[in-house]
Amino acid sequence: MGNNINIALAGNPNSGKTTLFNALTGSRQYVGNWPGVTVEKKEGKTRYNDEEIVVVDLPGTYSLSPYSLEEVIARNYIVEESPNVVVNVVDATNIERNLYLSIQLIELGTPVVIALNMMDMVEKMGINIEVKKLSKMLGVPVVPIVASKKKGIEELLDVVVRLSKGEIEYNPCVVDYGKDLEEKISETIESLKLNPLAKKYNLRWLAIKVIEGDEKVLKTLNIDDEEESFEDDEISLLDDYESIIADKKYQFITEIVSKAVNKPKDEKLTTSDKIDKVLTNKWLGIPIFAGLMYIVFFMTFNIGNIFLDIIDAFFSETVSGWASNALEAVGAAEWLKSLIVDGIIGGVGGVLTFLPNIIILFIFISILEDSGYMARVAFIMDRAMRKIGLNGKAFIPMLMGFGCNVPAIMGTRTLDNEKERIAAILINPFMSCGARLPVYILFASVFFAGHEDTVVFSLYVLGILVAIIVGLIFKKTLFKGEGAPFVMELPPYRIPTLKGIFIHVWERVKGYLVKAGTIIFAASIILWFLLGYNFSGPADITESIGASIGKAIAPIFTPLGFGNWRAALSLVSGLLAKEVVISNMAIIYGLGETVAEAALEGDITGFASTLSNTFNQLTAYAFMVFVLLYTPCVATIGVIKRETNSWKWTLFSIAYQFVVAWVMSMLVFQVGSLLGLGL
Amino acid sequence: MRRSLKDLKPGQSGKIVGIKGKGAIKRRLMDMGVTGGTIVLVEGIAPLGDPIEVKIKNYKLTLRKSEAENIIVE
C-alpha cells in the first residue's frame, strides 16, 4: 500500500471539481465527513499504468484563508497530510479569479498540477488560452481538460504520476510582494528558522501567513498577534499587509492572464446573461421562482403518490404475504411471524413508501443546483430569510420541509456557515411534513366538517410562524453574533448532465435507505415489542408495556386537554413516523386496520364516533397543534444526528420541540377554554 | 468622486479604491476578487431590494448592501 500515489483535488466551487472527481474515480468512492465537522469528505481510487492513485476531494473553496471551515480543512489537509500532488481544478472561463487559489496552493509548497477545465466552453466563447505560456509563467504543469466529457483525463493522470515520481521538473513561480514586504518576509523566515514548531512547513508560506496575521498559523507557531491596530473607517486600509498581499497576488495573476489569455474584444451578452436578466428580474423574479417551486411540489407529491400506493401495496400485501407464507412453511413461531410481518416489514416498508417522493424531490433539487438556479434562489430570498438570522440559501430546505424533513435537513448542506446551518436544521421540523397531513385531515374532517381547508391551512401557517419566532429567538440567544457574510458567486447557467444528477440523487437516497435499514429497523422492532408485550409475556395492546407508558405519561397532556393514555400512546408511537399516529390510534382504540384504512381513504365514520368520545373541537385542535410541533420522527432525529454530527444538538432538538409543542398546545387549550370554546 | 459600491445604480461601474473594515468579511471580499484597482459593474438588485449583483473580474458576484457599503469605488 505504501506505493499509492495520494492526490488531493482542490478548486473553486463550480469549477467542475466534483465532475472531475467522478470522472476519475467512478463508483469507487467513499463519502463521509471530515473528522469532527459536518463538511463532507469524499475519497476515491483510480488506476493509471499500474499505479494505484488515491484521490481526496477537498472542499470547494475560493481561497485558503483561516476564516472558513472548508478553507481550513483544505489547507490543513495539504499541509499536514502532504499529498504527493495537489490537482487544482481551474475553470478556464473564469480563469482570473480561479488562479487566486492556484497561487495560494503553489505557495504552500506541495507540487501542484493545474487541470484547466471547461476548455470547450472557452473555445465557444472565442477565448484563446496559451496553455504552454501559462504553464511556463506559473512554473507548474497545466493540463487542459473537459471533465464533463472526460477529455484530457489520461493526460492529467500521466502528468500527476510523473510529477509525483520527480520525472517532471518543478519550478513553481514566486509572487514578488515588493521590496518592503519581501524584506519583511526574509526577516520572518530567519526568525522562523529558530522556531522548532515551524520545521515541517514551507517557510516562505509560513512567513507570509505570519505577516498576514493568520490566527490559525500564529497559534500553531505559538506566536502572539502583535500588530492589527487599524481603525475601521480608514480608507487607506488597502495598506494593511493582508490587503497588500492579496492585491499583489491579483496583480501577478492579471499580468499572467494578460499575456496568456486572448479574449475577443467585443463582449457579447452570453445566453447565461440573458437567462439571468429574466430570472432575477425585479418584477418577474419572484413569480417565476414561486412558479418553479409550485412545479417541484406538484411533481414531488402528485407523481410521487402514484408510486406511493404501488409501493405501499407491494409491502403490505406482496412482501408481507410472501413473508407470512414463507415463515409458516418453515414453521416459525407466531411471535416471530408477527415481529417480521407487522413490526419490521410494516415499519421499514412504511418509510420506504416515501422513497419515490424523495427521489423526485432530489432530482429537482439537483437540477436546480447543477443549473445554477439555486444560487439565484438565495439571491432572491436572502432579504426575507435574513430577518430570522439565516441567509437566502436556507430557503429551499425550509420549503422542502413541507414534503419531508429528512431530505430537507440533508438539503441544509448547501449552507456553508456552521451556525446558520444548525439553526436551519433545528427549525426545519416546524415545516409541517407530508406525513402529518393525514392526522390533520382525519381530525379536521371529524371535528371541523366543512372547514377542513381552513383548519389544515392554519396549521401550516402556525408551523411557519413558530419557525420564524424560534428562528428569531435563536438568533438572539444561541447563535448570537455576526452572521456569515453573504458574498456569493452567481455561477453561469449550465445544462445539468444526467450523470451528475444521477450521482447527486443516488448519494442522497443512499443515506435515506441506510437509515431505513438501521434506525427505523431497530425502532420498528422496539415499538412492535412495546405494543404487543408486557412483563409477563405477549399481551393485548391495552395491557401492553406501551399502554403502561401511555398511562404513565398521560398526565403530561392533561393541561393540553387530551390527558388520556390512548392519545398519549398514539403520540409516542408517532415518533416512529408521524403518519402512524392514525394507524396506531385505530389499533389503540381497538378499531382495527380496516377503520384506519378507510379513514385514510376518506371514510371516517368508524373513527368519528370513537374520537368524539374523547375529543371535542378544542382538544382536537390542541392535539393537531401538538402533532404539528412535537419532536420529529426517528428518521428526522437520525438525520439531525448525522448532519449536526452532535448528540448535544440532537437531544436539544428533541427536547426543545417537545417543549414548544407542549406550550403552544397548552395555550390553545387553556385560552380556548377561558373563551368558552370547544364545550 | 469617491463613494461606496452601495450607491452605484444598476448599469454603473466604478474602480475599487479600498475596503473598509477588517477581519472575515473583508478577507472574504478580497478572496472573491474585490481588490484595489479592479473594475466593478452593478448588474442588478434582487427583487426584494437587497442583495445586489455585480460583475467583477469577468464573473458575477452577489453581496448585501451592508457589505457593499464598505467597498469604496471611484
Which domains, from first to last, does chain B contain? 3-73 (2.30.30.90)
Q: What is the pLDDT of residues A655-677, one digit of tens each?
A: 999 999 999 999 999 999 998 87
Domains identified in chain A, total number: 2
Q: Say yes or no: A116 and A11 in one domain.
A: yes
pLDDT of residue A228: 46
Strands B3-4 and B13-19: unpaired
CATH number at residue A223: 1.10.287.1770
Does the annotation place A128 within a ligand binding site? Answer: no
Is A360 contained in some domain?
A: no
Contact A373, A385 (CB under 8 A): no
Is pLDDT larger for residue A158 or for residue A309? A158
State how far residue A173 is from chain B, nearest Cα, in angstroms. Answer: 20
Check whether A133 has a pLDDT greater than 60: yes
Stretch 233-292 of chain A: residues touching chain B, C-beta under 8 Å: 233-238, 240, 242-243, 246-247, 250-251, 276-277, 280-283, 285-286
How far, CA to CA in Å, does B27 sit from each of A140, A212, A485? 26, 11, 10
Q: Say yes or no: A15 and A153 in one domain.
A: yes
Stretch 347-376 of chain A: residues touching chain B, C-beta under 8 Å: 375
Letter for the amino acid at A115? Answer: A
DSSP code, position A151 = B
In DSSP terms, A142 is beta-bridged to A114
Give the pLDDT band (50/70/90) at residue A598. Answer: low
Is pLDDT larger for residue A559 or for residue B36? A559
pLDDT of residue A668: 95
Q: Which of B21, B31, B49 has the CB atom closest to A63's CB atom?
A: B31
Q: Say yes or no: A130 and A243 in one domain.
A: no
Q: Say yes or no: A102 and A60 in one domain.
A: yes
Q: Say yes or no: A160 and A184 in one domain.
A: no
Q: Say yes or no: A188 and A45 in one domain.
A: no
Is A86 contained in some domain?
A: yes
Choose one of A164, A195, A214: the last residue of a domain.
Answer: A164
**Can you say whether the dihedral through the CA atoms of A614, A618, A624, A626 is positive or negative?**
negative
Q: Say yes or no: A124 and A11 in one domain.
A: yes
Q: Say yes or no: A159 and A223 in one domain.
A: no
Is A130 contained in some domain?
A: yes
Q: Say yes or no: A99 and A190 in one domain.
A: no
Is A357 contained in some domain?
A: no
CATH number at residue A69: 3.40.50.300
Choose one of A262, A280, A297: the last residue of a domain.
Answer: A262
Is A610 contained in some domain?
A: no
Beta carbons of A247 and B62 less than 8 Å apart = no
Q: Is A246 exposed, middle or buried (0-12, 13-18, 19+ CB in 10 A)?
A: buried
Q: Say yes or no: A117 and A17 in one domain.
A: yes
Give the pLDDT band (50/70/90) at residue A593. Answer: low
Q: Say yes or no: A208 and A240 in one domain.
A: yes
Is pLDDT larger for residue A522 or for residue A284? A284
Q: Say yes or no: A114 and A185 in one domain.
A: no
- The pLDDT of A621-641, averaged and rounded, is 90
Cα radius of gyration (chain A) = 29
Choose one of A234, A262, A290: the last residue of a domain.
Answer: A262
Q: Tell me which residue range forms the domain holding A223.
A: 179-262
pLDDT of residue B34: 92
Is residue A631 within 8 angstroms of chain B, CB to CB? no
